[in-house]
């Protein structure tokens, strides 16, 4: 639960973001998400050159899925640590992060794949109708896209915002052309704070819709 002092700092931060960005092309719900990412990173580039982009069904799919208690599958524990736990409890969403499981580690070594992509493949039974949030590992995003192409899973939304120099931008480009609702961004920037900020913002949008 945020304190009064904490809320005042957050409110002031949002005012600064609004004033520095000015006009923008985002819808109200999209802007709620973009602001949260900027707030978590202090990086205005997420509304500019490395801007966040949305599939037209992304927010609707995500809020409906969260409201129904969908799974949230993430690539690394860093995403888990930054999620609002009150929201998870309120809506009954189970967070799955298998990257450190012994079975995943062993299978990744056997197949000479990354633990992140192996963890996604081994979460296939939990992925239908889930939200998949990837903030760190481009290989995890590529694996999910491949699984969708194979027709073995259908997430409600893929948040694909991995950071890095090897395949990060390319994996996001591939996601934007995939047959799946997505929230992603352009270029190399991203990270676990971005992925968790997007999820937390989706809960804000959901609660606004339920109270209206």
Closest CA to 210 of 72, 55, 91: 91
Catalytic residue among 35, 36, 39, 172: 39
Q: What does DSSP say about strands 131-134 and 72-74: parallel, antiparallel, or unpaired?
A: parallel
The question of whether 39 is a catalytic residue gets the answer yes
CB atoms within 10 A of CB 63: 22
Percent helix, strand and coil across the chain, each to the nearest 5: 55, 10, 35
Closest CA to 133 of 47, 209, 201, 51: 201
Residues identified as active-site:
39
């Amino acid at each position: 639960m945020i304190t009064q002092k904490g809320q005042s700092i957050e409110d002031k931060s949002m005012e600064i973001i609004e004033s520095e960005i000015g006009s923008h092309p985002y819808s109200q719900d999209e802007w709620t998400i973009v602001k949260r990412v900027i707030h978590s990173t202090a990086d205005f580039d997420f509304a500019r050159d490395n801007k966040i982009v949305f599939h037209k069904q992304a927010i609707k799919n995500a809020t409906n899925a969260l409201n129904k208690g969908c799974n949230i599958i993430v690539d690394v524990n860093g995403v888990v640590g930054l999620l609002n736990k009150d929201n998870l409890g309120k809506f009954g969403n189970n967070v799955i992060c298998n990257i450190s499981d012994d079975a995943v580690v062993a299978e990744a070594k056997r197949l000479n794949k990354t633990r992140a992509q192996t963890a996604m493949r081994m979460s296939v039974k939990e992925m239908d109708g889930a939200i998949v949030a990837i903030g760190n590992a481009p290989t995890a995003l590529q694996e999910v896209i491949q699984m969708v192409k194979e027709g073995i899973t259908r997430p409600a939304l893929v948040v694909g915002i991995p950071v890095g120099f090897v395949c990060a931008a390319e994996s996001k480009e591939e996601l934007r052309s995939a047959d799946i609702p997505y929230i992603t961004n352009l270029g190399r920037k991203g990270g676990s704070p971005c992925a968790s900020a997007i999820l937390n913002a989706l809960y804000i949008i959901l609660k606004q819709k339920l109270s209206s």
